[in-house]
Amino acid sequence: MTEHIRRAHDAGRQHYGAPRVHKSLIQNGIQIGLGRVARLMRKARIQGTCSRLQCSHGGTKLRKYFAAPTNLRLDNPVTGINQTWCMDVTYLRVGHLWHYLATIIDVHSRRVIAYRLGPDRTAALTSQTFIQAVQARRPPAGLILHTDRGMEFLAKEFQDTLRLYNAQHSANRPWRMNDNAHIETFFHSLKSEGIFGSIFTSTDQLMQDVDSYICFYNTWRLHSSIGYLSPIHFELTCQAKNQPN
């Protein structure tokens, strides 16, 4: 049984703790209790990835001069894909320089649907990422895109892009970081599971690791919030349920 556990742990890129290892075993037809999985993992010294992240960058104070939209997510529950997306930008280091990764996730399935890396945190970066997502998913008019209140989202260029594609902009309430928890959770997973401890000397090297992790995240990583399925598996399951008999 320990060997089954080790294989499940390796399949999760050695990031899984006992709950995800347990679910992976059950999905593969191996009947075992969570308590036994935890005990055998401790005995074999098999551990999930710990959260050990740095980082804190203060945002620009110029955002106070821009009018932020309201939080539309509070009154619009999500029941399917392409209803609400969330978006944010995070910092990743290449050598001694920061680069910026803009990412969009479908709130219903937790699937990363677009991402783009750039040397500057600008409205051009976020606009291009949103266009990439629209071209990939073809959402209906009225899509809600939720972000924080950063200038790269409040700027005219980005707002014009949203209007061009008939999307509604939703934003965090002041001082409510948890309003965009889905994308923050993804960034935490990317950094702690995907690139923590790595030193990148080129943007190509960084993007190879980001591409690899997002492929794993969308295709294989088990997400507790969607029934311990991967985002792609969850979307396929939802589509199958909605197919007419």
> Mean pLDDT across the stretch 115-122?
95
Residue 177 tokens read as 């970081």
Collapsed DSSP state (helix, strand, coil) of residue 160: helix
First to last CA, the chain: 40
Kindly report the length of the chain.
245
Give the pLDDT confidence of 179-189 residue by residue, as tens digits. Answer: 888 999 999 99
Contact assessment for residue 206 and residue 183, using Cβ atoms and an 8 Å cutoff: no
Give the pLDDT confidence of 103-115 residue by residue, as tens digits. Answer: 999 999 999 999 9
What is the value of pTM for the model shown?
A: 0.78
Helix (H) or strand (E) holding 168, with range, is strand 168-171
Tell me which of 3.40.640.10, 1.10.260.40, 3.40.50.970, 3.30.420.10 is the CATH number of domain 61-238. Answer: 3.30.420.10
Q: Where are the domains of the chain?
A: 2-48, 61-238
